[in-house]
Structure 1
Amino acid sequence: MTNLSQLRKSYEAGELDEVRAANEPLRQFDAWMQEALRAGVPEPNAMTLATVSADGRPSTRVVLIKGFDERGIVWYTNYASRKGRELAGHPHAALQFHWVEMERVVRIEGRVERTDAAESDAYYASRPLDSRLGAWASPQSEVISSRAVLVANAARAAAEHGLHPPRPPHWGGFRLVPDRWEFWQGRKSRLHDRLSYRLVDGQWLRERLAP
Structure 2
Amino acid sequence: MEIDQWRREYLQGGLQRDDLADDPVSQFRAWLEEVVKANISDPSAMCLSTADAGGQPSQRVVLLKGFDERGFVFYTNLKSQKAWDIAANPKVSLLFPWHFLERQVIVRGVAEPLADADADAYFSSRPRDSQIAAWASHQSDAIVSRQVLEESFESFRQKFDGQDVPRPEFWGGYRVEPHAVEFWQGRASRLHDRFVYRALDDGEWQLERLSP
How far does the alpha carbon of each residue in 1:70-104 deviate from its partner, in whole angstroms, 9 at most, with x for none? 11100100010000111011111000001111000
Which amino acid in 2 is paired with 1:113? E
Deviation at 1:46, TM superposition (A): 0.3
Q: Give the alignment's Cα RMSD to 1 decimal.
A: 0.8
Give every structure 1 segment of 4 or more consecutive aligned residues whose post-TM-superposition deviation is greater than 3 Å.
Answer: none
1:165 counterpart residue number: 165
Task: For 1:159 and 1:43, locate their aligned partners in 2 and report how far apart those are by CA, in whole Å.
Answer: 31
Deviation at 1:115, TM superposition (A): 0.8
1:22 counterpart residue number: 21
Q: Is the 8 A contact 1:104 1:183 kept in 2?
A: yes
Task: For 2:148 and 2:192, locate their aligned partners in 1 and report how far apart those are by CA, in whole Å.
Answer: 48
Deviation at 1:3, TM superposition (A): 2.3
Query: Secondary structure of 2:3's partner?
Result: coil
Matches within 5 A, 1:107-186: 107-162=106-161, 163-186=163-186
Which amino acid in 2 is paired with 1:26? V
Task: For 1:14 and 1:39, locate their aligned partners in 2 and report how far apart those are by CA, in whole Å.
Answer: 15
Task: For 2:88 and 2:160, locate their aligned partners in 1 and report how far apart those are by CA, in whole Å.
Answer: 32
Deviation at 1:33, TM superposition (A): 0.2
- The reply on whether 1:105 has 2:101 as its aligned counterpart is no
1:56 counterpart residue number: 55
Task: For 1:132 and 1:42, locate their aligned partners in 2 and report how far apart those are by CA, in whole Å.
Answer: 22
Unaligned runs of at least 5 residues, structure 2: none
Which amino acid in 2 is paired with 1:190? R
Deviation at 1:40, TM superposition (A): 1.1
Q: Is the 8 A contact 1:41 1:99 kept in 2?
A: no
1:32 counterpart residue number: 31
Task: For 1:5 and 1:15, locate their aligned partners in 2 and report how far apart those are by CA, in whole Å.
Answer: 26
- The reply on whether 1:76 has 2:80 as its aligned counterpart is no
Deviation at 1:42, TM superposition (A): 2.1
Task: For 1:116 and 1:16, locate their aligned partners in 2 and report how far apart those are by CA, in whole Å.
Answer: 37
Question: What is the TM-score normalised by the length of structure 2?
Answer: 0.97
